[in-house]
Amino acid sequence: MDKQHTFKKVQKLLLVLLVFTMVLTPLLSAQASVKGITLNKTDVMLKLGGTLQLKASFTDSPVKWSTENKKIATVKNGLVTAKSTGTVNIKVTSGKTSATCKVTVYQPAKKVKLVPDANLLEVGDTFTVTANITPANATYQSLSWSVENTWDTVVKQVSKNKFKAVEEGTATIVAYQKDTKKEYRLEVTVKEALGSFHIESNSSKITSLSTFPGGHIIIKGAMDETEDYWYDKETTFKYSVEDKAIASIDARGQISAIKSGSTTVTVTAPNGKSKSCKLTVTSDSKALQMETLYADKFYQPIGVGNYGSWGRYGGSDKTFVFKLSNDQIGVFTRVADETSQKLELNLYDKNLNYISKKTIALPYTEWGGLHQGEDGNYYAAVGQKNKEQNNSKIVYSIIKMDKDFKELGRCNITGKESNTVIPYDVGFARMTMDGTVLIVHADRERYTSDDGLNHQSNITFIIDSTSMTQFYVGALFPYNHVSHSFNQFVKMDSGNLVYVDHGDAYPRSVVMQTHYNFSVNGWSDNYRNRPATNELDLMTIKGSTGDNETGTKVNGFEIGTYHNLVAGVSIPHDTITDNNITPYKVQNVYVSLVTKDGNSSKLIWLTDYKEGGKISANTLRMVKITADKFALIYQIQKEDAYSTGLILIDSNGSVLTKKEYDTYFSCYTQPLYDNGSILWIDNSGYAEEYYWYDETVSSSAEQCQFTRIYLE
């Protein structure tokens, strides 16, 4: 009885446990499911417009996705799409359980550019770097700043985005955005502290300017100290004019005067320092006024001729300015390397507006000069060295071109005919014409003599320009021989052929030779059958025979109405009492007036700078205005300053006008008389140390400029 009763109790207990288990198990299972549901992301950043796939874990039941704010982000099947910036919770629900993910939608920075507040950083400068963020509404714009560690300290951080330049060199500034974990970098270069600068025009310092309505002046900022020369090349100065109704100024520093009045022109360096000068535009006559303006599209360095600067030898011009048809101006520049040469022609209209450019091919590598022929054609003197003394080698070639620069013929001259190893050695192949006869007067280094030396002397060719064949070639000793001849000129004067040479040996003088009643007929280079020339020493040069130092330059020769004129700069050989020229350093402008018969001359000094003083005349150019009016333009050197001198004289040597301009005159190209003005071209960036390398150097990318002096 007791056993049966116990069994029933156990049976009831098991039944209760079974019922309890059946009821509790689903509850426990459901409770376990609520505790276990998770998302693969709980806090994320999402770019505006971006998407993110969320995944729910540990659930076998269907889930439901929802967003707190559909304007910020939407969700479908766990795929979140960012709609606008802000923060929103994305929720997943399974039955009575859920999980959330915090989504921060941000506008990313598409571009971040670090910009210093100065274009030029100098030692000692304090500067600020700004982050230019694109788009402007980027969400995260707070940055932390630093300087990348290097072995040297070029830049130090002062505070946040403020820095100080400590020494020359380069440094990298780093900006870090912690939210996006992005890093942005800026490399800066620190230069030596900018020295003082000045305003200059034509390489001369200026404090004031004057011009006329319609006139032009080029100015620029330039460093005071030569060691700061790099600033002239790497630093961009800014130019402005106060009263724009009186004048305008472009980014290059070219002033264009508009109407009469005065105003202030300011030049500002990248570090904010500025200099100013007064500009006066006057309605007075523009006679004897100077203007400068850029030669557009012309960047070739101006080749050196006319003795360079303080040079002993004449040298050939490499750049020529000619007046062409239709009042056009042609600028011809010889461009060369070690194996080839060519002419580049830049064409301008009468107002000096650029028209076009043309390249003219030339043979060989040596250059003598370019002549605008009296027959309307052009003649180029070229050649090649002949150090092997090859008798059959072409050493000189005179090339004839028409007005369109198409070659019409050549006259070639061999080593045997000319006895030459180096053509156009230190002089200039100048030319003139007598009808169809072309006369070329040049120089050369000759074949080796019995003394083992290669002597230098002049040489002359007389050519039939129609057939481009020889009438005469001066060989070892031409009929008008001068040794050593450092510069050469030739002109026709009423049937007489007149030569001028700068000789330092035989003779040691500025010498004129006249071939009376010139004709190519009835003579040759045979010593018994060649004409004599009338030789006249215009200036006897003191010093030892053959000493290359003469203290003299012969810069111009022109035919005048009452006299023929030879001009240049020189020390006073006519008053030196001994034969020692070493102590003499100061040069003055001279003109030698030669009677029309070539039998006598008179030396006139046109300046009077004193020996031991600080002023000297330097290189000079002579321009024929009329047969009775001539311009002498020369450089005046005053210690470290330069100016330009102008003297107008008549054919009797009387001074008509004298004027000095506060500008630098390089004198490396022959000026042109053009419609009442004297015009030439130059490169203000030219460096004298390139004298012997002028044909190959690209010394400057600066734009060349025209300079004009109005005579009326």
Which long-range CB contacts under 8 A does 657-660 form with residues at least 24 apart? Answer: 657/288, 659/288, 660/636
Residue 163's nearest CA partner among 112, 117, 111 is 117
Domain boundaries 38-106, CATH class: mainly beta
Residue 249 has pLDDT above 90, yes or no: yes
What type of residue sits at position 28?
Answer: L
Alpha-carbon gap, residue 78 to 91, rounded angstroms? 9
Which range, of 9-13, 383-387, 614-618, 620-624, averages the lowest pLDDT?
9-13
Share of the chain above pLDDT 90, in %: 69
Question: Is the distance from CB of 706 to CB of 295 less than 8 angstroms?
Answer: yes
Domain 38-106 shares a fold with domain 197-281: yes
Predicted local distance difference test score (pLDDT) of residue 260? 95
Find out if CATH 2.60.40.1080 is the number for domain 111-191: yes
Strand partners, 456: 445
Question: Is the distance from CB of 447 to CB of 419 less than 8 angstroms?
Answer: yes
Average pLDDT over residues 605-622: 94
Residue 393 has pLDDT above 50, yes or no: yes
pLDDT band at 700 (very low <50, low <70, confident <90, very high): very low
Listed in sequence order, the residues at least 6 apart from 294 whose beta carbon sits closer than 8 Å to its beta carbon are: 218, 252, 254, 703, 704, 705, 706
Average pLDDT over residues 667-681: 92
- Tell me the per-residue pLDDT of 74-89, one tens digit each, with 9 for 90 and over: 999 999 999 999 999 9
Predicted local distance difference test score (pLDDT) of residue 666? 80
Predicted local distance difference test score (pLDDT) of residue 378? 98
Residue 110: other Cβ atoms inside 10 A = 9
- Tell me the per-residue pLDDT of 263-309, one tens digit each, with 9 for 90 and over: 999 999 877 789 999 999 998 788 999 999 999 988 777 766 777 64
- Tell me the per-residue pLDDT of 405-429, one tens digit each, with 9 for 90 and over: 999 999 999 999 999 999 999 999 9
pLDDT band at 699 (very low <50, low <70, confident <90, very high): very low
Residue 7 has pLDDT above 70, yes or no: no
Task: Indicate if the alpha-carbon torsion angle 532, 554, 588, 654 is positive or negative.
Answer: positive
pLDDT band at 36 (very low <50, low <70, confident <90, very high): low
Please provide the CATH number assigned to the domain covering 197-281.
Answer: 2.60.40.1080
The segment with the largest mean pLDDT, out of 137-141, 204-208, 430-434, 547-551, is 430-434
Question: Is the distance from CB of 484 to CB of 503 less than 8 angstroms?
Answer: yes
Residue 382: other Cβ atoms inside 10 A = 24
Predicted local distance difference test score (pLDDT) of residue 696? 38
Task: Indicate if the alpha-carbon torsion angle 671, 672, 673, 678 is positive or negative.
Answer: negative
Question: Helices marked H in 193-349 — which ranges?
Answer: 229-234
Average pLDDT over residues 624-636: 97
Residue 26 has pLDDT above 60, yes or no: no
Claim: this prediction has a pTM higher than 0.85: no
The segment with the largest mean pLDDT, out of 200-214, 535-549, 681-695, is 535-549
Retrieve residue 76's tokens.
């479908």
Task: Indicate if the alpha-carbon torsion angle 451, 452, 457, 459 is positive or negative.
Answer: positive
Task: State how far the alpha carbon of 517 is from the alpha carbons of 65, 440, 466, 470, 494, in Å.
Answer: 116, 18, 21, 20, 8
Average pLDDT over residues 574-600: 95
Predicted local distance difference test score (pLDDT) of residue 10? 53
Structure-derived torsion over alpha carbons of residues 638, 644, 645, 646, reported in degrees to the nearest 10: 180
Which long-range CB contacts under 8 A does 155-159 form with residues at least 24 apart? Answer: 155/188, 155/190, 158/126
Residue 227: other Cβ atoms inside 10 A = 9
- For residue 16, report the phi and psi dihedrals to the nearest 5 degrees: -60, -45
Alpha-carbon gap, residue 575 to 285, rounded angstroms? 41
Alpha carbon of residue 462 to chain centroid: 40
Alpha-carbon gap, residue 484 to 506, rounded angstroms? 7
Predicted local distance difference test score (pLDDT) of residue 118? 82
The DSSP string of 181-215 is: TEEEEEEEEEESPP--EEEEETTEE-SEEEE-TT-
- Tell me the per-residue pLDDT of 509-550, one tens digit each, with 9 for 90 and over: 999 999 999 999 888 776 678 899 999 999 999 999 999 999
Which range, of 289-293, 393-397, 429-433, 646-650, averages the lowest pLDDT?
289-293
Which range, of 209-218, 240-249, 381-390, 413-422, averages the lowest pLDDT?
209-218
Residue ranges of domains in the chain: 38-106, 111-191, 197-281
Average pLDDT over residues 559-572: 97
Indicate the burial class of 268 (C-beta count within 10 angstroms; 0-12, 13-18, 19 or more). middle
Question: Is the distance from CB of 67 to CB of 76 less than 8 angstroms?
Answer: no
Q: What three-state secondary structure class fits 440?
A: strand
Alpha-carbon gap, residue 303 to 277, rounded angstroms? 32
Predicted local distance difference test score (pLDDT) of residue 203? 75
Alpha-carbon gap, residue 86 to 103, rounded angstroms? 8
Average pLDDT over residues 625-639: 95
Average pLDDT over residues 491-499: 98
Predicted local distance difference test score (pLDDT) of residue 597? 96
pLDDT band at 229 (very low <50, low <70, confident <90, very high): very low
Residue 228's nearest CA partner among 122, 311, 321, 310 is 122
Predicted local distance difference test score (pLDDT) of residue 603? 98
Predicted local distance difference test score (pLDDT) of residue 3? 52
Predicted local distance difference test score (pLDDT) of residue 693? 33
Segment (H or E) for 12:
helix 2-36
Alpha-carbon gap, residue 430 to 441, rounded angstroms? 5
Residue 155 has pLDDT above 90, yes or no: yes
Residue 314's nearest CA partner among 445, 455, 484, 487 is 487
Mean pLDDT over all residues of the chain? 88
